[in-house]
Structure 1
Amino acid sequence: MPPRFATLPNRRAIIDRRTIADALAVLEGADATALRKAGTMLLADAMAAGRAEIERRFAEHPTRGLETAAAYGFLMDQLLRLLWDFTVQRLYPNNNPTAAERMTLIAAGGYGRGEMAPHSDVDLGFLTPWKRTGWCEQVIESMLYALWDMGLKVGHSSRSIDEMVKMARSDVTVRTALLEARYVWGDTALYDEAARRFRVEVQGDTRGFVAEKLAERDARHRKMGDSRYVVEPNVKEGKGGLRDLHTLFWIGKDAYEVQRAAELVGKGVLSAREYRRFNRAENFLWAVRCHLHLIAGRAEDRLTFDMQREIAERMRYADRPGKSAVERFMQFYFLQAKTVGDLTGVFLAQLDETFAARGRRFGLPTIRRSPRRLKGFVLDRGRLALPHDDYFRDDPVRLLEIFALADQHGLEIHPLAMRAAARDAKLIDEHRDDPRANALFLDVLTSPRDPETVLRWMNEAGVFGRFVPDFGRVVAQMQFDMYHHYTVDEHTIRAVGLLARIESGSLAEDHPLATAIFGHIVSRRALYVAVLLHDIAKGRGGDHSVLGAEVAERLCPRLGLSGAETETVAWLVRWHLLMSATAFKRDLSDFKTILDFSGHVASPQRLMMLLVLTIVDIRAVGPGTWNGWKRQLLTNLFESAEEVLRLGHKQKGRSERIAAKQAALAERLGWSQEAYDRLVRTLPDAYWVAEPADVLEHNARLIARAGDAALSIDAQPHAERGATLVTIHASDHPGLFYRVAGAIHAAGGNIIDARIHTTRTGMALDNFLVQDPLGRPFDEPGQLQRLHGAITDALANRAKLSEKLKAKPLPRLRAETFAVQPAVLIDNKASNRFTVIEVNARDRPALLFHLAHALFQSKVTIHSAHVATYGERAVDTFYVTDLIGDKIDSSGRLKTIERRLLDAATGDVDLARAA
């Protein structure tokens, strides 16, 4: 019996094998098929009762993951033994078996370890001495049918011992499964012979096995996102998950011939403290996996947002000031994933010392090597190592010096040195004010080489969070939303890495403006520190920008920054969201927007630093958050604000700007003077200010093609914007905007920006930027055809938008998991000409359509709409006037507009009336 089964309390309450065996013994049936069916029903009832008992215990003790996994394994063992005996004694009795009719049943894979989640597959092996006889095949077939009838998913193999050895030697997956194999029932002598031959004929090539398992692990990590800090992790397969722990155990079992992870302590591979961490992480991860299976009612290993909230509740996490129960649960999850990563490093170091050939190492990249000693540290095959175990204790500042040297010389740190750093990290507490330590830390942070990698090493060793306790508070901290893909510490380290890559020029193609201006930034140190601190106060309650600025004012002098640098860092942290909020939520063609933003920034240096900080912050959020449209908006805002800051708060003559755009367009079009003058007379001044040059040309050619047509629609993908420009030229009438918005959504598009114009001839000229639900240009021929048809039908009143919109699925199903309190902000100071209305709400199908219809009902004219989405949260901003073109200043009317928009944001509207 596996050790974990032996420690299970009151095993007979889960299943009493003797009682069930007695019940099976008296069953009757007309033939073998009927008898098997009766036996299967009895065993299925026993399985259901056993699972109910395990689930009851787990509900009482929801953190006992290993005990629960062992209980499911124990239950399966007893059921298989009962089924085996029933099959060979009652269904296919063989009173005088030949030597070839011996057989044994083994458990393989996770079941072989004695660990099962509620809906895990049952991995079985049927072993025979030679080729299977007819009786063996009858028994195997009957047992498999019974197991399938019980609703179990069974992975099985039936092999002779020779076949088992051959397969294990040629296939690392089979070897791994058999490495964990254990006896369940049947011929014990046959099992012993199989185990002996596996040990002698298969095990032994430890180097090859280890290399293959590490390569397999790396491939799995790449597939799962290659970070243990993704906010919807896979508990089994993800980096830092159960499979990583299993890989360590497999390698340990093969290399050191241990049966249990605890035996690795005796082998000197893990210390007693490290094994306790191993066991704690394994227990927690198993608890989470069992909860996942029970909630889903099937095998489910991805810890999605909706699951996170429910598991946090089941595991009895509670809210704390500034941090919800689910965020506390996930922070503990990521801390355990970090533990798994730490133990992996320790384990590989021990393997390296024991098995790796001189000059070669397992799973680690080849780097430049040098035989030199470095400031007291020694080099072990190109890696920084310690001359003796007390080296950090003798001078704790060396805990930072080792990382600084690794950065300066392009070296790796020996895993045993990392192990010592993790053990001794607390010693740095007393040296946080040491100027040497702070200078070393700042050197790593602002390194022109690869600060991201070295900071990540420092974080994994625990030195980072100890030296900067404010950073330690956000280690493994997630933000419970669909926008942020990583924990706060991982997001921050990635942002620093992106900053270094922009400075080096390696991201010039993605960020030409940021790359071009970087060399003009006077205090790069301040910028690097600002990136480090921009999210440092997340999870404290209150505005993290304000609280983060206070941290900066306290921490920067300690790091050695001057008073001016400290002031700059604090300002950047305080306003690090200002540029993105202005670019994505405001109308940049409204000069008041540029003046207000420039007044806030007040300095060309701050403007440059804020742009770069904004870019790396957005990009470090996760894949897909950066696109060409955001680049264009930020570039437009930067260039407009730079002009104001360099020339003073005086707008370049509006008429001059319009004239310059018109002259440039005339040159690009090449029309006759008469035709061009006719176009210019048609379009209002506001249009020329609002639209960029390429859109002006595109619109002009559409107007020329349209002639006297009542409706013209054009869609043109723009790769650089990451979106498709959809232009509508139609007879203007009330409600046109909301109908077009509804039609675009019904066709499967998402509107990310909209500009609405009315020509002097009474025609609407509306430009929409549209993406597909994955944030890509809406450019497939079928998509564009569907879009054209939907808009045409909507404006001709041929289609019931209500029915089409109700049929559209929610683009991100798990958005329902999040509570976003809707809010409507109305600002009459943000623009000289318009009332600015900002709506914050949970993103849902056709939200823009509902909001635009609410404004239509309120008898207002929409002049531009700006759509920003942050995961499950949508922020839609409208620049509006009343029907005669004036700002709306009546408090009663503004309250009515606010109420209607709130109803639209929450879905409390009649969709049929809206269509």
Structure 2
Amino acid sequence: MDQIITTPPPFFDPAELREELSSYWKESADNPAQMRPRVVRRLKELKATAQAEAEALLMRTGDGRTCAAALALFQDELIKLIYDFSTKHLYRARNPTAAEHMALVATGGYGRGLMAPKSDVDLLFLLPYKQTAWGESIVESVLYFLWDLGYKVGHATRTVDQTLKAAQSDMTIRTALLDARLIHGEDALFQEMWTRFINGVVGGTKREFIAAKLAEREERLKRAGQSRYRVEPNIKEGKGGLRDLNVLHWLAVYLNPARNGQKAENAIFTHSEVATFNHCEGFLWTVRCHLHFLTGKAEERLSFDVQPDMAQRLRYHERRGLLAVERFMKHYFLIAKDVGDLTRTVCSSLELRQLKSVPTLSDFVGALPWSPQAKIAATTDFRLDNKRLNVKQPDVFRKDPLNLIRFFIEAERENLLMHPEALRLIRASLKLIDDDFRRNREANRLFLDLLTSREAPETSLRYMNESGVLGRFIPEFGRCVAMMQFNMYHHFTVDEHTLQAIGILSRIEKGEFGKELPLSTEIINDIQNRNALYVALLMHDVAKAVEGDHSIVGAELARSVALRLGLSAAEAETAAWLVKYHLFMSQTAQSRDISDPQTIRNFADFVQSPERLKLLLLLTVADIRAVGPGVWNGWKGQLLRQLYYDTEPLLAGGHTRVPRQARIAAAKARLREVLRDWPAADVDRFIERHEPDYWVRTDLERQILHASLIRRYETEAAPLVYDVRCCDIVRPIPELTFVTGDHPRLLLQSAGACAASGASIASAQIGTTRDGLALDTLLFQRKFVDDHEEISQCQKIGRSITDVVSGARALDEAKVRSLRLKPKVDAFTVPPDIVIDNTASQETTVIEVHALDRPGLLYDLARCFDDLSLDIASAHIATFGEKAVDVFYVTGPGKQKVTDEATKSRIRGQILDLLEE
């Protein structure tokens, strides 16, 4: 490939350095052992200066590609310097034979002439014949110098024949050689290798290479994550990152290997696509170079803790309600989207070029009158090209702009891939979607049909989004395209989260989640406002792109869009209500005591109708599940089901499909059946221990666990028994359940033991039986990939809680304090907020605390309540990324509510003090 820069880098004078190193040799002729450390020290100084000047160049120009090219050229000159020093002074061949020559060849990304500040150095030592003692010494000398300088070197020493043989059998080596570039040594040797490589390896294997690279890309994305909109992206290996551009580059070189000074990408891209490729590559290289300099290592992941600093280095500023870091990340995701567009278009084009042009039987069948091909040709402005949907004429969208929506509907209806030429034409036609188009009644009807399709609306909408049609047609949605929120809770950009939520709702409707989501699967076919639900889900987060409360502002946007799409006034009002209150059900289920009748009455008064209850549940489930991996779990599902079942009778006038008493009786009967081998008296005693709400909020598996733990507690006469597991139906979450005698300081002790163990509590379910046994479950943030390691960690925590609760060991306060001083993610700020509410419960005062999550937070709060002489009746612990929302139902002296204003002020003040420590 073409070299990026052909002049030496400005970091040092090669001739001057050669003289300096030669002087070291002369001065150390009598003591060579002193010479090498001196050379290494000088080269380390040179490397440090080059790195500093490269960073200064990056900060001055803002051009990462120039920085990477300059670093690659510095590396070239450094390797030449080391090689010449080795051959001239260390292992000089006075009369070199034909075998005592070599070519130093850069391969991979370094061969292309681009090198990130902390990149590996990929080298090929190319030999004419077999290895000689001289050649072995030179290779070792070069490598040892580079290693001493701190470089990680990927290297190989091969003859031309060995190189070609390796390239034929190993696709990775073949790919690396596509960017092979002579650094130093025998040019004739390198040219021989290159010519034989192109003619003997590349020639005639284009189809094989393309298939291998596309398969390799799919495998890589499985490891890195399929979505390019993950909010902590890997800029090198992730979808839409530099590796995707590398794949396109390699395909271009393979199809056009001639070194004629032209970029190989010109062979497969249009002029505008070449410009897009260069723009994307420039941006990603700029981000990568900054990231390496910022972290001081070969870091490729844009993690939350570096994103704000990256935004600052790249000179982004807060604007229009978006933080500087959010504007930077939105730019990143727009670039990733452009990379995705290029990848999809080019890979599809290349794939099509590999198809046989000879007609097959299926081609003849496709021409029959009843075939999809004939049907599409007869009824639309589209046609099939190699089983992909294409347009009949290049002016198909200009003549009828509605085809910009019909195209996606047709692709979904017939389950067809889209032709790259058609997608290129769609992107070039986006200006046809203007205000008149958006007001067109037929356009809105078509879009609503697609949004509410019973086939695959997520796929169609994603294609519309990637091509730009969705954001143009629904500008309210367009503002949140590629937008991220700077928090740890949401794993995807706003638009990606929304599309995934629509896909989840569609899959619920198809019955694909019958086991995981039994209630949602049951009620979705009973709803009367299906269109309103899908519109609400599309619009529920769009207002995050504008200033103000996104739920309130989003409700108005949803109402407007719903009416434009053709929904009735009542349906539009329902969609707006769902958007305005789309967080309310999850907040109630996770942060309130839903066994308290007052909580249920308040929730029922708010929802007002059975239809709204169903719609809100479905929207809530789809929304939470689409937040990201591990956010949804069976516990949350059980809480939502309990809230639904307890609210439904109040809204249905006492008439419900499954009355509460019937559900309780059925739960007890199921448990008796499972425990039929137990003595009936033991089962009866366990059942009598629990309040009625236990049977509707606790699933059968957990009931069995609780029964076994209580049985162990009684028979073993232990101070505490516990169980640990990673067994959630959706994603294994480490959890610890324990049974012990209840007492006021139990939460303080257990939370302190967890904090001292370095565990971060994600959720907690604190319960007490009628006869005074504490039955508590703690869910922890995962620390390990392997479940066995998680369980081992939980076992240690269980032993620590046992020791502290039993009094066998005092709580290590110093260790808890040291952990408390280390916030989990100091890149975030969560302003502390304390709400003290006496209306949410008839018997207790509800204290709700919002704060930055950190180890020891629950312990601190429990200690604070203990100091204030507050008795915790129940606690509801939840984390949303970096934000903790902990809700406590408490009573003061005499088991009374806290109503005195002075006391409430003192409680608020002490909690704020500990949060601000």
Gapped runs of 5+ residues in structure 1? Answer: 362-366, 909-915
Q: 1:795 aligned to 2:795?
A: no
Give the counterpart letter for 1:410 in structure 2. Answer: N
Cα distance change on mapping 1:709 and 1:528 into 2, 3 Å? same
3-state SS of 2:43 partner: helix
How many Å separate the matches in 1 of 2:438 and 2:682?
73
Alignment of 1:744-783 (within 5 A): 744-746=754-756, 748=759, 750=761, 752-757=763-768, 764-774=772-782, 782=792
**1:125-164 mapped onto 2 (5 Å cutoff):** 125-164=124-163
Q: Residues of 2 paired with 1:203 and 1:673: CA distance?
A: 77
Aligned match of 2:902: 892
Note if contact 1:58-1:64 (Cα within 8 Å) is conserved in structure 2: yes
- Give the whole-Å Cα distance in 2 for the aligned partners of 1:77 and 1:360: 52
Shift in Å, 1:751: 6.4
Residue 815 (structure 1) shift: 2.1
In 2, distance between residues paired with 1:360 and 1:819? Answer: 63
Specify the alignment match of 2:489 in structure 1: 483
* Alpha-carbon distance between aligned partners in 2 of 1:778 and 1:167, rounded to the nearest angstrom: 40
Residue of structure 2 equivalent to 1:516: 522
CA contact (8 A) 2:820 2:857 kept: no
Name 1:237's counterpart in structure 2.
Answer: 237
Q: 2:893 aligns with which of 860, 883, 888?
A: 883
- 2:330 paired residue number: 331
- After TM superposition, give the deviation of residue 668 of structure 1 in Å: 9.1
Give, in angstroms, the shift of residue 898 of structure 1: 1.3
Task: Tell whether the 8 Å contact from 2:819 to 2:856 is kept in structure 1 after alignment.
Answer: no
Is the contact between residue 734 and residue 782 of structure 2 (CA under 8 Å) also seen in structure 1? Answer: no
CA distance in 1, matches of 2:867, 2:559: 49
TM-score, normalised via structure 2 length: 0.90
Amino acid at match of 2:156: S
Name the CA distance, whole Å, in 2 between partners of 1:710 and 1:217: 55
Q: Which of 337-346 and 29-38 deviates more?
A: 29-38
Partner residue in 2 for 1:26:
23
SS of aligned partner of 2:439: coil
Distance 1:303 1:253, change over 3 A: same
Matches within 5 A, 1:493-504: 493-504=499-510
CA contact (8 A) 1:718 1:725 kept: no
Instruction: Give SS of 1:581's match.
Output: helix
**Structure 2 counterpart of 1:892, which letter?**
A
Q: Displacement, 1:81?
A: 1.7
The verdict on how the C-alpha distance between 1:668 and 1:38 changes in structure 2, with shifts beyond 3 A counting, is closer
Distance 1:398 1:194, change over 3 A: same
Please name the residue that 1:562 is paired with. 568
Equivalent residue number for residue 706 of structure 1: 714
1:420 is matched with 425
Letter in 2 for 1:768: D
Distance 1:452 1:690 in 2: 33
**Hey, what's the Cα distance between the residues in 2 that align with 1:701 and 1:352?**
58
Please tell me the residue identity of whatever aligns with 2:781: P
Q: Is this contact kept in 1: 2:221–2:238, CA < 8 A? A: yes
Find the aligned partners of 1:586 and 1:868 in 2 and give their Cα distance: 11
Contact 2:2–2:259 (CA<8 Å) still a contact in 1? no
Map 1:158-177 → 2, pairs under 5 A: 158-177=157-176
Distance 1:47 1:693, change over 3 A: closer
Partner of 1:214: 214
Residue 915 (structure 2) aligned to one of 905, 908, 913: 905
1:595-652 C-alpha deviation (Å, 9 max, x unpaired): 11111111111111111110110111111111110010000001111111012699x9
Does the C-alpha gap of structure 1 residues 803 and 831 become closer, same or farther in structure 2, counting only changes over 3 Å? closer
CA distance in 1, matches of 2:254, 2:686: 80
> Aligned partner of 1:386: which letter?
V
Q: Which amino acid aligns with 1:635?
A: R
Query: What is the rounded CA distance, in whole Å, between the counterparts of 1:327 and 1:360 in structure 2?
Result: 52
Q: Deviations over 1:265-298 (max 9, x none)?
A: 653x222222121111101111111111111211
Q: For 1:14, give the aligned amino acid.
A: F
Structure 1 residues 756, 254: closer, same or farther in 2, change over 3 A? closer
2:863 matched to 1:868? no
* Structure 1 residues 812 and 515: CA distance shift in structure 2, 3 A: farther
Distance in 2 of aligned mates of 1:257 and 1:632 = 60
Which residue of structure 2 lines up, in the alignment, with residue 437 of structure 1?
A: 443
Within a 5 Å distance, the mapping from 1:638-649 to structure 2 comes to 638-647=644-653
Matches of 2:261 and 2:642 in 1, distance apart?
59
Quick check: 1:262–1:275 contact (8 Å CA) kept in 2?
A: no
Q: Does 1:251 align with 2:251?
A: yes
2:65 equivalent to 1:71? no
Report the AA paired with residue 439 of structure 2: D
CA contact under 8 A between 1:749 and 1:778: conserved in structure 2?
no
Query: Does the alignment pair 1:825 with 2:831?
Result: no
Residue in structure 2 matching 1:579, options 585, 590, 610: 585
Give the CA deviation at 1:303: 0.9
Contact 1:281 1:340 in 2 (8 A): yes
**Equivalent residues of 1:35, 1:91 under 8 A apart:** no
Question: How far did residue 765 of structure 1 move?
Answer: 2.2
Structure 2 CA distance for partners of 1:669 and 1:861, relative to 1, 3 Å: farther
Pair 1:384 & 2:389 matched:
yes
CA deviations over 1:503-529 (Å, ceiling 9, x no partner): 011111111110111110112111111
Secondary structure (helix, strand or coil) at the match of 1:403 reads: helix
Cα distance 1:258–1:194, how it changes in 2: closer, same or farther (>3 A)? Answer: closer
Q: How does 1:545-624 map to 2 (within 5 A)?
A: 545-624=551-630
> 1:349·1:416 contact (CA, 8 Å) conserved in 2?
no
Aligned to 2:305: 306
* Cross-structure match for 1:735: 745
**Shift, 1:130, TM fit:** 1.3
Describe the SS at the equivalent of 1:866. strand
Is contact 1:458–1:464 with CA below 8 Å preserved after alignment? yes
Distance 1:891 1:206, change over 3 A: same
Identity, % of aligned positions: 43
1:465 matched to 2:471 = yes
Post-superposition CA distance 1:772-798 (Å, at most 9, x none): 432999998755654553233223433
Does the 8 Å CA contact 1:332/1:476 hold for their aligned counterparts? yes
Secondary structure in structure 2 of the residue aligned to 1:19:
helix
Give RMSD over aligned pairs: 3.4
The one-letter amino acid paired with 1:178 is: L
Task: Give the distance between the partners of 2:139 and 2:683, measured in 1 at CA.
Answer: 86
* 1:634-674 Cα shifts (integer Å, max 9, x gaps): 00001111111012699x99999999999999999899999
| Higher mean displacement: 667-676 or 168-177 | 667-676
Q: Deviations along 1:428-452, whole A, 9 cap, x unmatched?
A: 1241111121112112111111111
- What is the CA distance between 1:830 and its match in structure 2? 0.9
Looking at structure 2, the residues matched to 387 and 807 of structure 1 have their Cα atoms a distance apart, in angstroms, of: 71
TM-score (norm 1): 0.90
When residues 388 and 811 of structure 1 are mapped into structure 2, their CA distance, relative to the original with a 3 A threshold, is farther
Change in CA separation of 1:246 and 1:720 when aligned onto 2, cut-off 3 Å: closer
SS of match in other structure, 2:895: coil
CA distance in 1 between counterparts of 2:21 and 2:726 reads 71
Give distance in 2, aligned partners of 1:607 and 1:83.
74
Which residue, 407, 414, 420 being the options, matches 2:412? 407
Among 14, 17, 21, the alignment partner of 1:17 is 14
| Cα distance in structure 2, aligned partners of 1:703 and 1:674 | 14
Q: Secondary structure at the match of 2:118?
A: coil
The answer on whether the counterparts of 1:823 and 1:841 sit within 8 Å (CA) in structure 2 is: yes
User: Is the deviation greater in 421-430 or in 719-728?
Assistant: 719-728
- Residue of structure 2 aligned with 1:834, choices 821, 830, 844: 844
> In the aligned structure 1, how far is the partner of 2:521 from the partner of 2:121?
56
Question: CA deviation digits over 1:362-421, x for unaligned, max 9?
Answer: xxxxx9974541502111011110122222122221111100111111111101111111
Name the CA distance, whole Å, in 1 between partners of 2:129 and 2:661: 95
2:710/2:739 contact within 8 Å kept: no
Which range moves more in the overlay, 473-482 or 717-726? 717-726
SS at match of 2:773: strand
Q: Is the 8 A contact 2:845 2:890 kept in 1?
A: yes
Return the alpha-carbon distance in structure 1 between the equivalents of residues 705 and 384 of structure 2.
63
Partners of 1:689 and 1:109 in 2: how far apart? Answer: 60
Q: CA deviation at 1:719?
A: 4.6
Q: In the aligned structure 2, how far is the partner of 1:103 from the partner of 1:710?
A: 75
